[in-house]
């Protein structure tokens, strides 16, 4: 199951990519004295477009085969086994999944509303004592 990114997050990268590329093209059309700025803006725009395409294809989280994986373009993919999770906390609005060897931070503001509901249901079902699972307090609200 894929936990999708919010549309705002996705399309902001698309819009920024298009704007930077158009800005770079305008440097070549206007015959600016420093054309290397045009190349820099086009490279920046291309990076934003690549980020959009990566996020659109892979989304934010993948939950399958008892693992939760966070997809990040500019770093290693962070995975954690659901069965190894020892504690689930909410710190400064982020959800922190802790095991003995790893921590996985999830920013719920980046997640599409329907996907967030699915994620919360999955996190609520993890078998932990109520004091170690932030979502055990909200079981009745999430159902």
pLDDT in tens, 8-61: 999 999 999 999 999 988 888 887 677 788 899 999 999 999 999 999 999 999
Tell me how far CA of residue 51 lies from CA of 16, 19, 91, 98, in angstroms.
Answer: 11, 14, 27, 28
- As a whole number of angstroms, the distance between CA 73 and CA 70 comes to 10
Same domain, 47 and 9: yes
Task: With respect to residue 71, please indicate whether it lies within any of the assigned structural domains.
Answer: yes
User: Is 133 a member of any domain?
Assistant: yes
Domain stop point among 27, 58, 89: 58
Is residue 15 one of the residues assigned to a domain? yes
Do residues 70 and 77 make contact, with C-beta atoms less than 8 angstroms apart?
A: yes
Is position 111 within any domain? yes
Residues 50 and 86 in one domain: no
Residue 140 confidence class, pLDDT cut points 50, 70, 90: very low
Number of domains observed in the structure of the chain: 2
Residue 82 resides in a domain: yes
Domain of 25? 2-58
Residue 142 within any structural domain of the chain = no
């Amino acid at each position: 199951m894929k936990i999708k990114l919010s549309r705002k997050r996705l399309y902001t990268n698309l819009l920024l990519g298009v704007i930077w590329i158009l800005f770079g093209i305008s440097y070549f059309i206007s015959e600016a004295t420093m054309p290397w700025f045009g190349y820099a803006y086009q490279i920046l725009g291309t990076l934003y477009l690549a980020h959009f395409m990566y996020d659109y294809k892979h989304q934010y989280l993948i939950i399958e085969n008892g693992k939760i994986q966070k997809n990040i373009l500019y770093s290693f993919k962070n995975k954690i086994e659901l069965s190894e999770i020892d504690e689930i906390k909410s710190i400064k609005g982020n959800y922190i999944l802790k095991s003995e060897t790893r921590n996985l931070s999830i920013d719920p503001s980046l997640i599409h509303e329907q996907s967030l509901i699915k994620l919360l249901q999955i996190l609520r079902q993890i078998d932990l004592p109520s004091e170690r699972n932030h979502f055990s307090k909200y079981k009745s609200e999430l159902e």
